[in-house]
Structure 1
Amino acid sequence: MLSYRHSFHAGNHADVVKHTVQSLIIESLKEKEKPFLYLDTHAGAGRYFLGSEHSEKTGEYLEGIARIWQRDDIPAELEAYMQVINYFNRNENLKYYPGSPLIARQLLRDYDQIHLTELHSSDYPLLRSEFQKDDRAKVLKADGYQQLKSQLPPMSRRGFILMDPPYEMKTDYQAVVEGIKEGYKRFATGTYALWYPVVMRQQIKRLVRELEETGIRRILQIELAVQPDSDRRGMTASGMIVINPPWKLEQQMTNVLPWLHKVLVPSGHGHTKVSWITPE
């Protein structure tokens, strides 16, 4: 049943937005000395070779990270994210794209914890291999949604939960809401970041409405569209829904999204959005 492979899409415009938000949240959490847990429910393979058959077939990274790579006008909000990209591409050729687990590995401190789950039979061994020498990390072949029950709250009472499901099945849209409700019930002070694709706008409107109905406060929505909404097949936009965002995140993404839109979408199509689904 699990057929989705992120290797076809690594480094695209959606990854740029997702990992910008991820890096900003991590950097904000690091401003306090106390350790925290990073929990990645759908971690993927960890590292993606941009010269692979999968990546070359779609070429999506060419309209994503490749448009930002080696620019000399990078905004401050992208510095931590781009430091990680540069670390994995030291020979000045853009060969690898680090997924969310490797971005976390590079940015987290020695005493923070990393908990990663991945169910795909091909991606899990790759992920496990990436982290076999990292004492901070626990890598499981397990249902990521179940981790929201079993791993929360963390002992440190500080945590960042990234949820990035493949949305292979329509039930994923409901499953993420149920997962957030389960996690929040156990750990209401954690920061939860949910990635979503815009394929059919009605699905996202329903997702937002169901999150509103949970009664959870402080839910921020961040979105970058590269095309107008459409009934045709294909992702026109993507975004991040963040519960308990760091206090600076709203302004940081308000600052950087117009620049990302200008660079990633030269045609000027689409839109950017930073708004509260539910405020305080």
Structure 2
Amino acid sequence: MNYRHAFHAGNFADCMKHALLVWLLRALAAKDKPFAALDTHAGIGSYDLAASAAERTGEWRRGIGRLLDIEAGPLADYVGLVRAAGAPARYPGSPALIRALLRPGDRLLACELHPEDHAALRAAFRADRQVAVHHRDGWEALKALTPFLERRGLVLVDPPFEQEGEFARLAQGIALVAQRFRAGIQACWYPIKHRAPVRAFHAALREAGLRDLVAAELWLREPTDPQRLNGCGLLVANPPWHFEAEGGAILATLLERLGEREPGEGWAMTRLAGE
């Protein structure tokens, strides 16, 4: 409940997560049938990069600030949406990016538990009939709000990882949604500080017998310091066709732009379980 994303908006982890999210949503929209998206930890929707929180860390300058000149290539779609949302003055969170890619007939379910952030999110979408804002726990929403009536769509799980047991909770959530909503795409963010928790998370997914899993990862330095965010991953269940190849090109371009040339930096697109 204490986590506030305003301090970290537009950092390298946001860039990685959101660039892949945009690709996944474009893949969903390639078919005519409507879809829904569930954002379990939605935040406030849009962030002022000149506000004291963002300026205090300056993380966006080493993230989206290094990408805003991009006009072509694997990141062009994502960066274009960010510029259209007001960057570099403002950075769009995941609900804003999802909303920008909804077609008539598609819808967004956005959950936020923090009372102040929920109020800001509700105000941002108050007059929008395609967006439903819920003041509820994102983990509980996985059961309450899936499967979708549309029978197709995306579940974005982006927890703050400020409490113990978040990796275990994430693995349980992925298994739950896979059972309830087999056709749904899941995109689940996780931090990479050191390797042991990530290896255990991947192992838990395999042991649960889950199928069609891909882990997209980007790290800016060797992940050996448990006190530092050295990288991050996006676990994608039921990925669309070509995700591994085209998502890999996104990760490679991100590392080229955002990397500090520190020892051990890299990216990986790893299939954890076959179809």
Task: State the TM-score bracket (shorter-chain normalisation).
Answer: over 0.9
Whether 1:83 aligns to 2:80 is yes
Give the TM-score, by structure 1 length. Answer: 0.95
Residues 133-155 of structure 1: CA distance to partner in whole angstroms, max 9, x if unpaired? Answer: 11011101101111211111111
Q: Do the aligned partners of 1:9 and 1:55 also contact (CA within 8 Å) in 2?
A: yes
Which of 121, 124, 137 is equivalent to 1:127? 121
* C-alpha separation in 2, matches of 1:193 and 1:256: 15
The equivalent residue for 1:278 is: 273
Between Structure 1 and Structure 2, how many residues are aligned? 274
* C-alpha separation in 2, matches of 1:124 and 1:241: 26
Which stretch shows the higher mean deviation, 124-133 or 250-259?
250-259
* C-alpha separation in 2, matches of 1:104 and 1:170: 29
Name the SS of the counterpart of 1:42 in structure 2.
coil
Q: Do the aligned partners of 1:262 and 1:268 also contact (CA within 8 Å) in 2?
A: no
Counterpart amino acid of residue 278 in structure 1: A
The equivalent residue for 2:9 is: 10
Name the SS of the counterpart of 1:122 in structure 2.
helix
Which of 101, 104, 111 is equivalent to 1:117? 111
* C-alpha separation in 2, matches of 1:180 and 1:214: 10
The equivalent residue for 1:106 is: 100
The equivalent residue for 2:188 is: 194
> Structure 1: any 5+ residue segments left out of the alignment?
none
Q: Per-residue deviation at 1:268?
A: 5.2
Which stretch shows the higher mean deviation, 52-61 or 259-268?
259-268
* C-alpha separation in 1, matches of 2:171 and 2:208: 8
Q: Do the aligned partners of 2:37 and 2:154 also contact (CA within 8 Å) in 1?
A: yes
Q: Do the aligned partners of 2:39 and 2:155 also contact (CA within 8 Å) in 1?
A: yes
Q: Percent identity?
A: 35
Counterpart amino acid of residue 7 in structure 1: A
Structure 1 residues 153 and 71: alpha-carbon distance in aligned structure 2, compared to 1, 3 A threshold: closer
Counterpart amino acid of residue 111 in structure 2: T
* C-alpha separation in 2, matches of 1:231 and 1:10: 22
The equivalent residue for 1:19 is: 18
Q: Do the aligned partners of 1:197 and 1:235 also contact (CA within 8 Å) in 2?
A: yes
Which of 214, 217, 223 is equivalent to 2:211? 217
Name the SS of the counterpart of 1:209 in structure 2.
helix
Q: Per-residue deviation at 1:83?
A: 2.2
Aligned alpha-carbon RMSD (Å): 1.3
Residues 63-109 of structure 1: CA distance to partner in whole angstroms, max 9, x if unpaired? Answer: 1000011234x31x3233122111122xxx61100000000010111
* C-alpha separation in 2, matches of 1:46 and 1:214: 33
Q: Do the aligned partners of 2:70 and 2:76 also contact (CA within 8 Å) in 1?
A: no
Name the SS of the counterpart of 1:197 in structure 2.
strand
Q: Do the aligned partners of 1:84 and 1:103 also contact (CA within 8 Å) in 2?
A: yes
TM superposition outliers: structure 1 runs of 4+ over 6 Å: none
Q: Per-residue deviation at 1:52?
A: 0.9
Name the SS of the counterpart of 2:268 in structure 1.
strand
Q: Per-residue deviation at 1:232?
A: 4.9
Give the TM-score, by structure 2 length. Answer: 0.96
Name the SS of the counterpart of 1:148 in structure 2.
helix
* C-alpha separation in 1, matches of 2:271 and 2:180: 23
The equivalent residue for 2:69 is: 70
Counterpart amino acid of residue 228 in structure 1: E
The equivalent residue for 2:243 is: 249
Q: Do the aligned partners of 1:261 and 1:268 also contact (CA within 8 Å) in 2?
A: no
Q: Per-residue deviation at 1:111?
A: 0.9
Name the SS of the counterpart of 1:26 in structure 2.
helix
Q: Do the aligned partners of 2:217 and 2:269 also contact (CA within 8 Å) in 1?
A: yes
Counterpart amino acid of residue 31 in structure 2: K
The equivalent residue for 1:259 is: 253
> Structure 2: any 5+ residue segments left out of the alignment?
none
The equivalent residue for 1:172 is: 166
Residues 216-266 of structure 1: CA distance to partner in whole angstroms, max 9, x if unpaired? Answer: 111001011011112351100001000000112111122222221111014
